[in-house]
Amino acid sequence: MTEHVYHIAIEEQRHQGGVRTLLEKAFGPGRMMRAIYRLREGTPPDPALCFVMLNKHDLVLGVVRNYRVCVGDNPRAALLLGPIAVAQSHEKLGLAARLIRHTIETATAQGFDMIYLVGDPNYYGEFGFTATRAAQVKINDLEEGKLVLGLELTPGAATDYAGIMRNDESVLLNQLQGWR
Ligand SMILES: CC(C)(COP(=O)(O)OP(=O)(O)OC[C@H]1O[C@@H](n2cnc3c(N)ncnc32)[C@H](O)[C@@H]1OP(=O)(O)O)[C@@H](O)C(=O)NCCC(=O)NCCS
């Protein structure tokens, strides 16, 4: 059991160096060219939904960031899970699975209806994500072979989210208002 050895915390300023290193190693410089990166770009992730996996020395071994997104003309924001990365030295211990489950639990508690991600249904299916639940959602310029998956947090919610996914500009507006 990894629960006693590694713990999940909200990502804070002091984790930034560790997080940056993990993401750079996991996705490389080519990540900026990807459609999903361009979709997230421009708005910060939801700070209440960014988590790190730490060891007892507070070393960052894993990270998941989550972004608020809008789909079509639905005024309610959905969540876009990712990026998620785990240090190579600590892969296959179930750390990513714990970060995903924690995201699902927290998003549910915060009242989100839907979580989306781009990923492999063979892995994410275990957490309830399916392509069917995201069948009405389109990400502009998504690379061939990449699949959008969706998880309903509210039964039946998938039918309310149809159209193009874009970043939630209210996040940016709120941030700008905070700066005034
Ligand atoms: C993908 C990643 C986050 C998984 O972290 P992890 O802590 O090792 O994952 P878990 O221990 O929870 O799960 C391990 C199992 O799930 C599989 N798995 C995990 N994430 C997966 C993914 N995104 N797609 C397909 N399979 C995946 C692993 O291959 C492994 O399977 P196995 O035990 O049958 O060999 C990690 O390998 C990583 O950082 N990779 C680079 C970045 C990346 O690809 N992120 C995901 C983008 S969708």
Domain total in the chain: 1
Q: State the DSSP code for 69.
A: E
- 130-168 burial, b for 16+ CB within 10 Å, e for fewer? beebbebbebeebeeeeebbbbbbeeebbebbeeebebb
Instruction: Indicate which CATH number applies to the domain containing 74.
Output: 3.40.630.30
pLDDT lower than 70: segments of the chain: 1, 178-180
Q: Which domain holds residue 170?
A: 7-179
Q: What pLDDT was estimated at residue 1?
A: 63
Domain assignment present for residue 168? The answer is yes
103, 83 Cβ separation under 8 angstroms: no
pLDDT of residue 136: 97
Determine if ligand 1 sits within 6 Å of the CB of residue 147: no
3-class DSSP assignment, residue 80 = strand
Among the atoms of ligand 1, which is closest to the Cα of residue 87?
39
Give a yes or no: residue 1 inside a domain. no
3-47 confidence digits (pLDDT tens): 779 999 999 999 999 999 999 999 988 777 789 999 998 899 999
Q: What is the pTM of this model?
A: 0.93
Q: What is the mean pLDDT of the chain?
A: 93
pLDDT, position 178: 67
Ligand 1, atom 16, residue with closest C-alpha: 123
- CA dist 105 and 151 (Å) reads 12
Helix (H, G, I), strand (E, B) or coil at 164: strand
- pLDDT score of 97: 98
